[in-house]
Amino acid sequence: MLAGKSRVSSLELSLACQQLGLMLSCGVHILEGLSALSAGRSAAHPAFSEVRAGIEKGLSLSQSLERQGGFPITFVRSIKAAESSGRLVLTLGQLGQRLGKAHQNRTRLHSALIYPACVLLLSSLMLAFLVYVQVPMFLRFYHQEKASLPLLTEVVLRVSRPEVAVLALATLFGMSLHLTALGRTPEGRTRLRRYLYALPLLGRVFRLADLGQMAREISSLIDSGVDILSILRLLGSKASGQTCYDRLALVADSILAGRTLPEALEQHEVYPTLLISLLKAAEEAGKLEKGFSWYADLAEEEVEYSLQTFLALFEPLMLGFLGMVVTVIILALFLPTYQILMG
């Protein structure tokens, strides 16, 4: 991407592709179509104005998109292949549908994670109130009564000390800085993705979502007329941090060494057996793009099912954990009171 160029979002690009494809199919000239897109109020429209200016200077659509710098490289490559094959209108429609579906999947995944994140935040605030506001009040009372404190109460009181709270906040702040720093480099993004893959319950969801997105992109590029080796090299150079993309350049090397695509994928454990089996069947039928499309559909369905399962398990587990913590705090606070009353 060129310096200073803002990236066009997937939702904006999806809508623009569908609108432009529809206008071209109705006989509207591409310059008029881009003018119509530029007349709107979306944040993406300044980019389309620059694309239109590039075409007016004699560039092709793909060249102008690449020069503008705000469009994904896979999108530009698909447009370039469509121009060569004369399938621009069809490809725009397909790209619009793929980008729209990818945006919906990401939105669904993020929305599903908002609920547990909010529950965790509110629970943490409630526990912090109990430990750092209520516990010190009881402590002052026990000191006035000169009561002997049981071990459980001593432990809770030690946790409620201000320096422990400062240490906890400093640790959380340090972790957030570390994760932010990881997200700024390709190697860091790869490590961050592996952390996500290692999460209980949710790790499989993130892995499947990445694999489904990769399969959908490859299917779309093949359907646009891009050869498989160019696709693997292109996606393998994205530096996305997703391990399923990072291995694609090695897969391309294996194909050049004489292996078939399924055999090359088998060399890397990140690619599941289901994907390889579907590709073997699709390769034999001469419809490789269908194999990737089939797997993308299955992965998206499994992601949705896994999210539903996670949400169904999360609430009772979280409530049970909170119940145990609150019970421990209450016991720690009232055991000395019981001893005072019995004494």
Indicate whether 295 pLDDT > 90. yes
Mean of the per-residue pLDDT values of the chain: 80
Question: pTM for the full model?
Answer: 0.70
Please compute the mean of the pLDDT values over residues 45-61 and round it to a whole number.
84
Over residues 99-111, the pLDDT tens digits come to: 887 787 778 777 7
pLDDT for the residue numbered 210:
87
How many percent of the chain have pLDDT more than 70?
A: 92
Domains of the chain: 10-100 (1.20.81.30), 106-343 (1.20.81.30)
Max Cα–Cα distance, the chain, nearest Å: 95
Give the pLDDT band of residue 222 (cuts 50, 70, 90): confident
Please compute the mean of the pLDDT values over residues 78-100 and round it to a whole number.
82
Cα distance between the two ends of the chain: 75
pLDDT for the residue numbered 4:
42
Highest mean pLDDT: which range of 88-92, 159-163, 175-179, 255-259 = 255-259
Give the pLDDT band of residue 5 (cuts 50, 70, 90): low
Over residues 125-172, the pLDDT tens digits come to: 887 787 777 777 777 777 676 667 778 877 877 777 777 778 877 887
- Residue 171 is which amino acid? T
Over residues 260-294, the pLDDT tens digits come to: 999 999 988 889 999 999 999 998 888 888 999 89
